Chain A
């Protein structure tokens, strides 16, 4: 009987209406991706007047040639952007996660003066729209001559109040006080207790926060757009956005830029889509952490 593991399955008849609804959702959510894939295989001519219409392949299959053009265009500028995105999101994401894990553990497992007050401040800061900080951060950075360096993107990405909140909520439940006390009794120092006892128990939340902050930095547009002016430092989001503006401003001359934008967009989404698909079992539970409390 399946009812024991999942009582919802009791209804034996496959629910047709529900499945039709799901198919509609699948088509809607995958349609742009299908378009992107099809469009990446077209030459500049086919992109405008393809033989199969917008949602089907053209008679010429040009994917490899498009990628080749992307590799050589302006000395491989696009792949430099891709590398920058990877660098910013790895350093920013890992850094933000480390800070959030430490702070969340500190808030959850230590009683100290001012804890409740500082946690209240932290919760309040979750409500501050981070993009409202971009222009002030830019001006602060330009005072310190940090604009137009990689640090102008990475350092502000370390700020993740929501990550700290998630870690605190998770650590409070997942790490029993008795276990920490037992480790202390055995003579383990606080740092060692953290690394050997607490951290392994917090792993699902760590993966979630890491994924969220890597995605946040990878997808960020406003901050790098504001603080970077050197093309060679752009992440892929700012680079593609710039190409789009360029292509739109000189029609005709921008024609071949459109194929680069399309195939560049396709390549840029592959790493994160793979990361999400392969780390499913972690984030599916973890994303709801904040909601369960």
Chain B
């Protein structure tokens, strides 16, 4: 063991530098999983994407061929286009719902508000598959309440799963599933603000609304940035909800509805593993670049993630 006197002379950081392997030992188990289940699949996907396999030709080196094919493939591009549109519309709605709920919950300490906090959060604990199944039933004209509801006003219920309405149907499911999780993140950030700031603002004559919009919202901007990144990453890799609704959607969810569904179908229905790898890898790159641009842009204004 190190002599106490030596410790007193050298600060702990420097002492640890002399035994660099200890830090690595703590990181090693995770590092191994990281290499095997993140780096290796990415590398393997990239490797596979460089080849193409045909019945007549066998496996041949294709170079960038698969990527040229992917980024000119209308099915892949329509999937990318769909998830981008979905993200652009979903994220503001979701942020507004979760921010409004968090601000109201932060301002109240009634029994109702405590119950509301749990009720809003509960969908997060429910698997996306089950959440989607429930909404699928609720949307259905045979199982759901819509038929009865619209009978009151002498209208026939809308087919939410039809190709014209499916966008909104999916939007609702995702907002329902995730708004509570985001609300809790914002709520906890609000609770972390020193209340004496509000006191000072009130003495200066600020109204509750001004306190909410001018003080609370700016002070939780890093929580909002985190949520935005989560929502962006989650939406671009959209898979579970449309995949579960697919059997009951009467064809309005196609096999290239989102990039992940397309990759899944290419791999498991058509056994085009090389092209499926290309789609997966391309999706990864698109998401990475999108998030990176966002973080870079927001870091210019403040210190973003980390």
What residues of chain A have their CB less than 8 Å away from a CB belonging to chain B? 6-11, 14-15, 18-19, 21-23, 25-26, 28-33, 35-36, 39, 47-48, 53-55, 98-100, 102-103, 105-107, 109-113, 115, 118, 122-140, 155-156, 158-159, 161, 164-165, 177, 180-181, 184-185, 187, 190, 194, 215, 218-219, 221-222, 225-226, 236-238, 240-241, 244-245, 248-249, 258, 261-262, 265, 268-269, 272-273, 275-277, 280, 283-285, 287-288, 290-293
State how many angstroms separate the Cβ of A264 from the closest Cβ of chain B. 9
Interface-located stretch among B52-60, B69-77, B108-116, B163-171: B108-116
Q: Which residues of A contact B287 (CB under 8 A)?
A: 127-129, 132
Q: Which residues of A contact B34 (CB under 8 A)?
A: 122, 125, 159, 161
Interface SS, A side: helix
Contacts A8-B107, A25-B101; A181 near B119 (Cβ below 8 A):
no
Task: Let me know if B37 and A127 touch, CB within 8 A.
Answer: no
Contacts A190-B22, A265-B130; A111 near B119 (Cβ below 8 A):
no
Task: Let me know if A159 and B37 touch, CB within 8 A.
Answer: yes
Task: Let me know if B38 and A102 touch, CB within 8 A.
Answer: no
Q: Which residues of A contact B50 (CB under 8 A)?
A: none
Task: Let me know if A110 and B16 touch, CB within 8 A.
Answer: yes
Q: Given A21, A105, A181, A238, which contacts B104 in the complex, CB threshold below 8 Å?
A: A21
B12 interface contact, C-beta 8 A:
yes
> Closest 6 A-B residue pairs measured CB to CB?
A106-B26, A110-B23, A288-B188, A291-B223, A136-B45, A136-B41
Task: Let me know if A128 and B284 touch, CB within 8 A.
Answer: yes
Interchain CA distance A265-B127 in the complex, whole Å? 9
Q: Which residues of A contact B264 (CB under 8 A)?
A: 135, 222, 225-226
Segment 120-135 of B: residues with Cβ below 8 Å from A: 120-131, 133-135
Task: Let me know if B121 and A288 touch, CB within 8 A.
Answer: no
Q: Given B14, B38, B48, B233, which contacts A159 in the complex, CB threshold below 8 Å?
A: B38
8 extra interchain contacts, Cβ-Cβ under 8 A, other than A137-B41, A215-B125? Answer: A7-B196, A21-B100, A25-B119, A136-B277, A139-B277, A226-B264, A249-B247, A288-B185
A-B contact count (CB 8 A): 330
What residues of chain B have their CB less than 8 Å away from a CB belonging to chain A? 1-2, 4, 7, 12-14, 16-17, 20-27, 29-31, 33-34, 36-38, 40-42, 44-45, 48, 100-101, 104-110, 112-113, 115-116, 118-131, 133-138, 142-145, 148, 176, 179-181, 184-189, 192, 195-196, 198-199, 202, 208, 220, 222-223, 226-227, 229, 233, 236-237, 239-240, 243-244, 246-248, 260, 263-264, 267-268, 273, 276-277, 280-281, 283-284, 287-288, 291-292, 295, 305-306
Task: Let me know if A132 and B281 touch, CB within 8 A.
Answer: yes
Q: Given B22, B37, B126, which contacts A272 in the complex, CB threshold below 8 Å?
A: B126
Contacts A26-B119, A32-B176, A112-B17; A106 near B23 (Cβ below 8 A):
yes
State how many angstroms separate the Cβ of A185 from the closest Cβ of chain B. 5
21 residue pairs from A and B, CB less than 8 Å apart: A32-B138, A53-B145, A54-B148, A55-B145, A103-B26, A107-B27, A112-B17, A112-B23, A128-B38, A128-B284, A133-B38, A135-B263, A140-B41, A159-B37, A177-B12, A244-B133, A249-B247, A277-B118, A287-B181, A291-B222, A292-B189
Task: Let me know if A268 and B127 touch, CB within 8 A.
Answer: yes
Residue among A8, A32, A187 with max Cβ neighbours from chain B (10 Å): A32
Task: Let me know if A269 and B130 touch, CB within 8 A.
Answer: yes
Interchain CA distance A159-B185 in the complex, whole Å? 22
Task: Let me know if B13 and A111 touch, CB within 8 A.
Answer: yes
Closest to B17 in A: A111
Task: Let me know if A32 and B24 touch, CB within 8 A.
Answer: no
Residue among A36, A135, A285 with max Cβ neighbours from chain B (10 Å): A135
State how many angstroms separate the Cβ of B299 from the closest Cβ of chain A. 12
Interface SS, B side: helix
Interchain CA distance A26-B118 in the complex, whole Å? 9
Task: Let me know if B127 and A221 touch, CB within 8 A.
Answer: yes
State how many angstroms separate the Cβ of A114 from the closest Cβ of chain B. 8
Interchain CA distance A6-B110 in the complex, whole Å? 12
Interchain CA distance A55-B277 in the complex, whole Å? 45
Closest to A106 in B: B26
Interchain CA distance A293-B254 in the complex, whole Å? 41
State how many angstroms separate the Cβ of A153 from the closest Cβ of chain B. 12
Interchain CA distance A232-B181 in the complex, whole Å? 32
Interchain CA distance A132-B83 in the complex, whole Å? 14
Q: Which residues of B contact A226 (CB under 8 A)?
A: 264, 267-268
Closest to B295 in A: A127
Task: Let me know if B199 and A184 touch, CB within 8 A.
Answer: no
Interchain CA distance A194-B244 in the complex, whole Å? 44
Residue among A18, A54, A129, A292 with max Cβ neighbours from chain B (10 Å): A129
State how many angstroms separate the Cβ of A142 from the closest Cβ of chain B. 9
